[in-house]
Amino acid sequence: MITILKADYKKYNVSELEKLRIDEEKFYENFDDAILLQTCNRVEMIFDAEKYKNIKELEKIGINLDKFEIISGEKAIEHLFRVASGLESMIVGEDQILGQLKNSYLKAKEKGKLSKRLEKIILKAIHTGQRARLETKINEGGVSIGSASVELAERVFGLDGKNVLLIGAGEMANLVIKALKEKNIKAIIVANRTYEKAERLAKELGGMAIKFDKLEEALRYADIVISATGAPHPILNKERLKNAGKTVIIDIANPRDTTDDIRELPDVFLFTIDDLKLVAEENLKKRMEEVPKVEMIICEELEQLKELLDRMEFENAVRELGQYIENIRKKELEKAKNILKNKNKPVEDVLDDFSKSLCKKIIYDIITIFENLDNKEMFNTLASEFKKLKQQKSKNKT
């Protein structure tokens, strides 16, 4: 199983989580059979619990254990599956966490830090996250103001082949960028009072920047306008948009960038942050309705993983047993060879002694093991199964 040390947005804000971040190189230099997952909303250390048990050693690299919640066993695996599926994200169902988990897995694998068991668990978590998004609608519909603005524009007007004007280059504008990047837009224009900021943003989007004095010209060119400035007063009104033609205006600024008289223009459709909140809330409600379906997928995948891990454990036990018997066989064979070299006994007698000694040593060790077990029923079960096997082989001979 695994052990996870976690700190996330449920307990800490972004700046507090930033202080809990761990130096990746230092982490992997000190620990094997582990994966480090770090995002803006979480810091999680995932360990193979069988391979690594001394959590206190984390303090050697400056990690304050009091800041982290520790979960182990099946609860830890379930948590990891929920993380991969987006159920533990601040925005339920978001896709980014799945890519972040994949990247963390690849880094740990590249550094040779994965046990076979831990790798199986992580890959199963990634598969579970993929199933959740393919088989349910947990990630559909924008639930942030930025993504909701793009969704609303797409719903009302369509985005394919459209010209988009983004006014502003601050935090809200950056939220819009994440959603716009996935769309098939013809052209993006970025306008901002500080031209250098507009240039940086336009470069990131593969668009073009304009100075603020060219705004009215850009408004006539744009099909969709998303306004997200930090201006203290409106920058768009009926007069400024009277020659804009058919246009969708989405105002996500606070305070608003638009005036209500814009709604009087027959070809201009205005949506404000209040409209977007309704869209975001509606989408979040739809996502929450999908949570039980995702939890069913997680249950299915947990059962499959348990069977896989049990099989791995059994195969490991068989390998260990095989190695143990092989070591005894080699020792007894060496004794038999020495006796044959000295020619003290006939070959038949040497082989007979070799086989008896091999069996006695194996049986003696097995009895010793079972004498030390609290559960004596296991020995009786084993004896019963050997008896059945013997009877079966006797039938096969006849």
Note the pLDDT tens digit of each residue in 221-241: 999 999 988 888 999 999 999
Average pLDDT estimate for 182-207: 88
According to DSSP H, which parts of the chain are helical? 14-20, 24-30, 73-85, 96-110, 116-135, 145-156, 171-180, 195-205, 215-221, 238-241, 273-342, 347-371, 377-397
Higher pLDDT, 274 or 103: 103
* Pairing verdict, β 224-227 and 163-167: parallel
At the fourth CATH level, which superfamily is domain 145-282? NAD(P)-binding Rossmann-like Domain (3.40.50.720)
The annotation status of 173 as a binding-site residue, yes or no, is: yes
Q: What 8-state DSSP symbol labels residue 344?
A: -
The annotation status of 168 as a binding-site residue, yes or no, is: yes
44 close to 5: Cβ distance less than 8 angstroms: yes
Query: From the candidates 16, 18, 40, 282, which is the catalytic residue?
Result: 40
Residue 40 annotated in active site: yes
- Which CATH number, 1.20.1250.20, 3.30.460.30, 3.30.420.40, 3.40.50.10540, labels domain 2-140? 3.30.460.30
211 close to 195: Cβ distance less than 8 angstroms: yes
| pLDDT at 268 > cutoff 90 | yes
114 close to 33: Cβ distance less than 8 angstroms: yes
Average pLDDT estimate for 181-210: 88
pTM: 0.70
Mean of the per-residue pLDDT values of the chain: 87
Higher pLDDT, 366 or 126: 126
Average pLDDT estimate for 2-16: 91
| pLDDT at 186 > cutoff 70 | yes
Beta bridge partners of 251: 227
According to DSSP H, which parts of 343-376 are helical? 347-371
Highest mean pLDDT among 13-17, 207-211, 321-325, 346-350: 207-211
List of residues 6+ apart from 155 with CB closer than 8 A: none
Highest mean pLDDT among 188-197, 339-348, 382-391: 188-197
The annotation status of 89 as a binding-site residue, yes or no, is: yes
Average pLDDT estimate for 30-38: 92
Q: How confident is the model at residue 53 (pLDDT cuts 50, 70, 90)?
A: low
What pLDDT was estimated at residue 375?
66
Burial 266-289, CB ≥16 within 10 A → b, else e: eebbbbbbebbeebbeebbeebee
34 close to 113: Cβ distance less than 8 angstroms: yes
Nearest-10 crossing angle of helices 73-85, 116-135 = 40
* Pairing verdict, β 42-48 and 2-8: antiparallel
The annotation status of 342 as a binding-site residue, yes or no, is: no
Compute, in degrees rounded to 10, the torsion defined by CA atoms 116, 122, 126, 129.
Answer: 140
For the chain, the structural domain boundaries read 2-140, 145-282, 312-383
Q: What kind and span of H or E run contains 187? A: strand 187-191
What tens digit of pLDDT does each residue of 56-91 get? 788 888 888 899 999 999 999 999 999 999 999 888
Average pLDDT estimate for 169-195: 82
Average pLDDT estimate for 379-384: 73
The annotation status of 42 as a binding-site residue, yes or no, is: yes
The closest of 252, 222, 224, 219 to 237, measured between CA atoms, is 219
| pLDDT at 182 > cutoff 80 | no
The annotation status of 117 as a binding-site residue, yes or no, is: no
129 close to 120: Cβ distance less than 8 angstroms: no
What pLDDT was estimated at residue 364?
82
Amino acid type, 65: L
The closest of 299, 286, 279, 280 to 85, measured between CA atoms, is 299
Beta bridge partners of 61: none
CA 364 remoteness from chain centre = 48
* Domains 2-140 and 145-282 belong to one CATH topology: no
The annotation status of 322 as a binding-site residue, yes or no, is: no
What pLDDT was estimated at residue 265?
94
The annotation status of 96 as a binding-site residue, yes or no, is: yes
